Structure 1
């Protein structure tokens, strides 16, 4: 039985993974811990095989007053947790980084491949990258480190842009027809991927994503369809969106291009258990989380 400690007791991925691993009774023992105060430093990590580090500030902020806090939480706390894990005999440390280390999406095509150098465009992305760089030197044969750089994660109960788009899809009759491509990752696909990381005691850098790239307009139309609504896609707004997109980053966040080359996301086992339509149906269902 693998004994797992999840840092960030209220994190979306952490709580989802706990529920996911209950599908495999007897294989995993899971605890979670908050790092919001210093009490975690007294916790004995030696009883765990894996520490899954989810604690951090997940949203992007442009407020310069927040910069110090981002580095304190996303970089310094990550390194400190990894050091404690290694000192106390944990075998594997899994860090949830982000595609944000490559910068923002763009109105032009952006395809990230194995040769793409990270170029963070804000202190959120840079704090994640610095955390990666800070923990890598700790790795050895007895202490494996797996760094995951997921694209946008969505699913039932997720936060961020997806639930906003879902609300829009259920209320409006028309939506801009923009031909963009985004890498995305449904929470079940991510949880299955992490399970394989744990089972196979992986180390290295990983880029999981859904099998299909996502077009924002088509996704909104699919969400509406799941709810029995009809949305007409139109290009009337495209010129206007192109103009304001140069001034407001939110437009590129929604309609910009940012994908991983598919070969980066291949794995020896099939973690992509839900295709896009199945994942949207699951996310939009009325079942309780």
Structure 2
């Protein structure tokens, strides 16, 4: 029996992992602890084998006034939690980092494929806070305390706050979209959950870059969501130059239409964790979204 503690109670990612592991009650025992106040410091870590640390700040404005809070939560809290885990005799600490340590998406029309030789290059204090957290917990690693770091690409799934939600909303409201080619790595929450399960099962250490088996393109995601919802979506060519100009004034344009992808070789693992295909993930999310809407209306 593997005993797992999720630090970050109530987080979408944490709840997804807990629900996933609970499918095997004979193999995994899972608890979570709230990290939003100091009560976690008196929580008994000693009875667990692995800690999965997901507590952190993301998907909020990068207002300069929040910089110190990002470092306090994403860096300092992570290192402090890892130290407590080590002192408590826990064997493995899994940290939910982010691809943001490599910087932002490329400019429109440019490729950005991250390989094993690509060096981290944070573009803002969000990325730097994650990278410094990685560096801090690596220093704690020894033969008895293993550290596994997950540099996740764009995460998405039912109930998660992600860019996918904006694309889904657009696809349901409109019928045309610019056909701008880009390359994106994404990771469905169920694929992440299975990957985390395997890291726990094999007591892994090191840095990992999981992603779906397929690259995606923003325009194609819009098209596929529309198809699943039985809507027509016309992708219009020839407007890339307009968005390139817009991107000079609006960074969100590059975020939407730029490229950011991992070399598929980085994401290989000894067991298959990509249990849901990209297209099936869209079908699952959109189907569940519809059923939840029906429940609310009733």
Using the TM superposition, name which of 14-23 and 189-198 deviates more: 14-23
3-state DSSP of counterpart to 1:94: strand
After TM superposition, give the deviation of residue 236 of structure 1 in Å: 4.2
3-state DSSP of counterpart to 2:137: helix
Who is 1:12 aligned against? Answer: 12
**How high is the TM-score relative to the length of structure 2?**
0.95
Decide whether the 8 Å contact of 2:22 with 2:29 is kept in 1.
no
Matches within 5 A, 1:41-60: 41-60=41-60
Matches within 5 A, 1:241-260: 241-260=243-262
Q: Which runs of 5+ in 2 are unaligned?
A: 294-298
Who is 2:172 aligned against? Answer: 170
Who is 1:142 aligned against? Answer: 144
Decide whether the 8 Å contact of 1:61 with 1:124 is kept in 2.
no
After TM superposition, give the deviation of residue 241 of structure 1 in Å: 0.9
Matches within 5 A, 1:1-289: 1-107=1-107, 108-286=110-288, 287-288=291-292
3-state DSSP of counterpart to 1:119: coil
Matches of 2:111 and 2:141 in 1, distance apart?
35
3-state DSSP of counterpart to 1:264: helix
1:128-162 deviation digits (Å, cap 9, x = unpaired)? 00000001010011110000001000011111211
Decide whether the 8 Å contact of 2:95 with 2:150 is kept in 1.
yes
**How high is the TM-score relative to the length of structure 1?**
0.98
Matches of 1:256 and 1:16 in 2, distance apart?
29
- The aligned length equals 289
Q: CA, structure 1 residues 264+10, in 2 after alignment: closer, same or farther (shift >3 Å)?
A: same
After TM superposition, give the deviation of residue 62 of structure 1 in Å: 2.5
Matches of 2:62 and 2:275 in 1, distance apart?
36
3-state DSSP of counterpart to 1:6: strand
3-state DSSP of counterpart to 1:95: strand
Decide whether the 8 Å contact of 1:60 with 1:124 is kept in 2.
no
CA-based RMSD? 1.2
After TM superposition, give the deviation of residue 189 of structure 1 in Å: 0.4
Matches of 2:105 and 2:60 in 1, distance apart?
13
